Structure 1
């Protein structure tokens, strides 16, 4: 296979980010014609169709493989910039995927120093949010360089480390309890009370009910609130029962605006950090001492140790 043109790989990444030739041209500050030419040259050299010309554009499976490579090249260029003390061709974007509940609780404090270092060293951190069971898909498709996920098995070429367990508890406002649950929550009334749900990927409320009452696949009255912060507010306002991380509920429980339902019942979700390996551990003299992506992983691991419950067992594996 012939050598890959870095400019063409940047073009492929911009198409994936922008979803159109017009937006990719804006991201790269070049013409749409130049974007088309670079993509065509890359596809010709590979002998494969890399992008399906739809609205929005989508990458083929070979395109996703090349996108992973393009993302890794971006990260390595950011590392070179940091090592040499100069910005090479503008700020580099280092995308990672995290779940919304982690973003709302412990991820921002954990990454604070990394963000400020990135501003100084010429790279930018991008956070992509999805459900913790789906962030791993972003990594596999090459859209991100790392992710916080419930998946424990590493992809080939990636490393994975257990971060800790995020504990979910069920809470409701005193007003809701007095209005709808005067005798408390039980098997006879849990289907008659609204349950707050983040989105259609969210099944934490069903898991909690299943554990509390020994049921499988309970049919619940769902009220969708697709925002982590609004989810908590909705619970405080009495919109429904919320199943949320204990860190998010703690100040409202302490202030009396929320009550814990069945405090002994909880769901512990074990989170892992996955990242692509950008250099060989076996190299006797690696070009880069510690990559920016390694720094992100180390910061998240340290932050998780402070915020999450310890994992049942330490996991550190590579693929």
Structure 2
């Protein structure tokens, strides 16, 4: 296949980001007709339909393959501009997928220096949030350049390193415990009590109950609160029992807003950082000092390095096995 048109790839990435031709045109500062022409030219060049013209539009499987390539080209362009001291015409996005609990605890402090630098250098880190078991799908589909995930197996062409283990504990407000759990939480009453759940993908509460009481596939009364921080506040307000990252729950337990339930029962969730290797030389290298494959490090390497350092400072150490 001949060299792909960068303008066509930018068009495809804008369509995936915006979800419509009109909004993609606004992102690229061109006409909607020009977006259509560039997409048709790219589709003709590769011999595949890349976008299903629907509302919202969606990418075909060949379109997802090229989207991954388009995202990588954008990251390489941002790297080149940074190293040359040039200014990009518009801010390049570096999208990564993270789980909500990591975002609520350690990810923002870890990325803060890079985000501030990006404001000066013409690139931006975009955070896409999903359940930790599903962030990897965003990477596979080409929507993001890296992800924090529970998946330990690297995709072909990706680097994967362990970040550490996030510990989860169960807690509720003292008032809720006094009213609903005078005899404590046990196998005979958990099914009759409300559990605060992030969304329908979230099975952390079910995992904790299974471990605590030896019940397979427990059925829980679920109250959905789609925010880690808001879920913790809801528990403190007495909405029900929450299974929370210890990093998030600890300050609220220390000041008495939450009380741990069965503190001997904890869940440790292993997290991994995945990122596409954008060149043969690039990539995170495992080692005691988390050294890098090349210097100066690419922007994606810098993001990965920042996340590895941030996670290492607060998470339990990863298992010895490296994927």
TM, length-normalised to structure 2: 0.95
Offset from partner CA, 1:91-148 (integer Å, 9 cap, x none): 2110000000000000000001111111122111100000000000000000000000
Match of 1:304 in 2: 311
CA distance in structure 1 between the partners assigned to 2:47 and 2:294 by the alignment: 32
Compared CA separation, residues 293 and 282, structure 1 to 2 (3 A): closer
How far did 1:282 drift? 8.5
Which deviations, in whole Å up to 9, do the C-alpha atoms of 1:217-254 show, x marking residues without a partner? 00111111111111011000110000010010011100
Shift of 1:89: 2.5
> C-alpha separation between the residues in 2 aligned to 1:127 and 1:311?
23
Does structure 2 conserve the Cα–Cα contact (< 8 Å) formed by 1:79 and 1:288? no
**Which residue number corresponds to residue 9 of structure 2?**
9
Structure 1, unaligned runs of 5 or more = none
Q: Provide Cα deviations, 1:145-202, integer angstroms capped at 9, x if missing partner.
A: 0000000000011000000000010001111111010010011111111000000000
- Equivalent residue, structure 2, for 1:68: 68
* CA drift at 1:314: 4.7
Matches within 5 A, 1:11-160: 11-160=11-160
Closer, same or farther: CA 109–180 of 1 in aligned 2, 3 Å:
same
| Helix, strand or coil at the partner of 1:195 | strand
| Alpha carbons 1:83, 1:288 under 8 Å: kept | no
Give, in whole Å, the separation in 1 of the partners of 2:240 and 2:299: 42
Question: Which consecutive segments of 4 or more residues in structure 1 shift more than 4 A?
Answer: none
Tell me the residue number matched to 1:245: 245
Distance 1:225 1:216 in 2: 24
The range that moved more, 117-126 or 193-202, is 117-126
Any unmatched runs of 5+ in structure 2? Answer: 284-292
SS at match of 1:257: coil
- Relative to 1, partners in 2 of residues 1:282 and 1:73: Cα closer, same or farther, differing over 3 Å? closer
Partners of 1:182 and 1:58 in 2: how far apart? Answer: 52
Whether contact under 8 Å (1:50, 1:62) holds in the other structure is yes
Could you list the per-position Cα deviations for residues 48-75 of structure 1 after superposition, in whole angstroms to 9, with x for gaps in the alignment? 0000011111000000000000000000
Deviations 1:240-299 (A, max 9, x none): 00001001001110011111011110110000000000121289xx99731000000000
Report the count of equivalent residues.
Answer: 314
Q: After the TM superposition, which residues 158-177 of structure 1 pair with which residues of structure 2 at under 5 Å, given as runs?
A: 158-177=158-177
Give the Cα separation in 1 of the matches to 2:199 and 2:103.
16
Cα distance in 2 for partners of 1:124, 1:257 equals 37
Partner SS, residue 182 of structure 2? coil
TM-superposed CA distance for 1:90, in Å, is 2.3
What is the match of residue 231 of structure 1?
231
* Equivalences for residues 269-280 of structure 1 within 5 A: 269-280=269-280
Distance 1:163 1:282, change over 3 A: closer
Give the direction of change, closer, same or farther, for the CA distance of 1:159–1:282 in structure 2 (3 Å limit).
closer
The CA RMSD measured in Å over matched residues stands at 1.4
Instruction: Give 1:88 deviation, angstroms.
Output: 3.0
1:159 is paired with a residue whose SS is strand
Distance in 2, Cα, partners of 1:227 & 1:30: 36
Deviation at 1:87, TM superposition (A): 1.4
Q: Equivalent residue for 1:198? A: 198
User: In the alignment, what sits opposite 1:180?
Assistant: 180
